[in-house]
Structure 1
């Protein structure tokens, strides 16, 4: 009989790393989309963050201090919806 080790629960490290990475990707894509429409430049705070983007991509901060995100969706019209990791008094969804 072959025994396999029990499946481990999802790594908290992966969950903590993946959520910000997905949020950052969404913000970068939103920044690229928004820049094409408005010509907005990336704020200097992003340059200080050490982000390295491919040629033709730019990033902008669309919300600051929202809290830890669990899920992020960018609508076809550019609206961003963020499901927060923890529900607060005001709710757990930011649009």
Structure 2
């Protein structure tokens, strides 16, 4: 909700603070973080998560785990969130 409002009214300070919190939070799935980054244009969050996943060599595995936990497929993701793919 806070991200929606901050994005809608272009409140950069709130967006940056939420982005910082998301970067620090360990209990949010990295793919979910990428969704937030794509939807709300949080470049730093997107870059950090992407680099971490790619450097660890686990990006595909993490994506498939996320999809399985959420009963989704790659097709669902491409239809709902095309900016991620």
Same fold (TM over 0.5): no
Specify which structure has the higher proportion of helix. Answer: 2
Quick check: which has more Rg, 1 or 2? 1
Higher strand share: 1
